[in-house]
Chains A and B, each alone.
Chain A
Amino acid sequence: MQELEILSLLEENARLSMREIADATGVEEEKVKKIVEELEKRGVLLAYRAVVNWEKAGVEKVCALIDVKITPEREHGYDSVASRIMRFPEVKSLYLVSGTYDLSVLVEGRSMREVASFVAEKLAPLQNVTSTTTHFVLKKYKEAGVMLYDGEELRRLAVSP
């Protein structure tokens, strides 16, 4: 499964060059290029991005997780509301979830006021949205599978049997 192998390599490190992927998988570089282009075209590979600890960079960002309850629409279910919400650039991720509410929205802004006004002015008034509950993020511990604190150092000796 060359495709899956390439995907898992890129998921781990999106900066690998085609040549490095070729070396690690034993697939020829030209072929890797072809497979990657194909995966991009099919929408399997969506984006290549860095995971940033903005706090360490001295930039303040405010995140909130918002539980949204909605009345589903006849024919479209939740999709049409979701597709309106996800188009806002403030929305970093959006999931339909099971349980006591319907959509889980992660919103990012420069200040609490900005996030609050996004919720009050854009999200809550949407047709079909019946309620919102906003949870501001106080501290991030792990983001996109990467620990922000307490990373582990390798403590190996330089030479061992």
Chain B
Amino acid sequence: MNMRGKIAGRVAEVPPSGIRRFFELVQGVEGVISLGVGEPDFVTPWHIREACIYSLEKGYTMYTSNYGMPELREELSRAISRRYGVDYSPENELLVTVGVSEAFDLAIRALVDPGDEVLIPEPCYVSYVPCTVFAGGKPVSVPTSAEEGFRVSAESIEERITERSKVLVLCYPNNPTGATLRRKELEEIAEVVVEHELVVITDELYDRLTYSGKHVAFPSLNGMKEYCVYLNGFSKSYAMTGWRIGYAAGCAEVIEAMMKIHQYAMLCAPVMSQMAALEALRRGDGAVESMRRAYDRRRRLIVKRLREVGLECFEPEGAFYVFPSVRSTGMSSEEFAERLLREQKVAVVPGNAFGSSGEGHVRMAYATSLESINEAMDRIERFLRR
């Protein structure tokens, strides 16, 4: 039988991931310094791992409530309220998920009917467009550029609104650009959201990793709680990528709809990860802050060195990515990344993996030691001199 012919059209139409392709290229090369890794270089803080081990010893090995353990939801509710002054009921406004990845997929599937349009500022995290397509929605890209600091503006969103516009995706601090949005810019976006009755899916996974000014949570803006699904998790700020745990918060109707899918597709998030997340929320603030400070040092170093070697680079204010322009080299994103890998064994991710407006840039993750950043930059300097 020809299985290829049996694959569902909307899955077949999605091209293979640019990141995967590059991963395979890097696999074959020895001695690579990688600035291509989108996750912390810290192992999860020990007290969190230890709490998980203890929970296993105590026999926490079963399914939990579909929504997630009540204690964890209560702790999440308190944490969001303390940090951003937004109150989500642990009863029915919070859903514990298998990472923001699952939470995003659930939100899209819960909201999008075939043909509905999803506005996605680009460059953006790699899963937004494919998940939209899998759900039968139509992704509408809202390009941003280095000139505007990769901040999406209310006008550029408004320009792309049609009858079918239903969802707006926001992700600040941003992967891959490191851009953040100021309160004023968010408020302007909020006006457009109200006027056109959009639902905002706001992925704020990097909220704790900001370096100039405090993060503004979208639902904390006046009235915006009703308009948005707030997604966050533990992967980046607590260095817990492998635990696969995150959450969604929103009004009861949308959380209920997301839970409907989650209960059949996933049942619940792993209980050991939920126990670890509980410990992270209760006693993890110190570790988050010390990792943030380490990233900040690396950020300063890499931005400075990029500018010294003549790669134009807007200063990232959040997450752990820089997104320098490689236009001055005359190379495309992919050509730059591939040649840099072959000639100097430094891995970076071509910007076009994050949408066509990422062309002309590469993403470098600075979640790696100061020494590795220096070594990588020495190699990049050599690469550019030739």
**A contact set with B: CB distance below 8 Å:** 5, 8-9, 16, 20, 23-26, 152, 154, 156-161
Contacts and interface: CB of A to CB of B under 8 A. Distances in A.
Contacts of A154: 41, 43
Interface residues of B, number: 29
Nearest to B24: A159
A16 B41 CA distance: 20
A8 B27 CA distance: 36
A24 B23 contact: no
Interface in B105-135: 125-127
Given A23-B301, A25-B300, A161-B126, A156 B43 contact: no
A152 B44 CA distance: 11
A157 B293 CA distance: 24
Contacts, number: 58
A23 B34 CA distance: 20
Contacts of A5: 293
A40 to B, nearest CB: 22
Given A20-B370, A20-B374, A152-B43, A158 B36 contact: yes
A16 B370 CA distance: 10
Contacts of A20: 301, 370, 374
Contact of B304 (A9, A23, A156, A159): A23
Nearest to A154: B41
A17 to B, nearest CB: 10
25 contacts: A16-B370, A23-B300, A23-B304, A23-B305, A23-B370, A24-B301, A25-B297, A26-B300, A156-B37, A156-B41, A157-B37, A158-B23, A158-B26, A158-B34, A158-B37, A159-B19, A159-B34, A159-B36, A159-B347, A160-B37, A160-B38, A160-B39, A161-B17, A161-B125, A161-B126
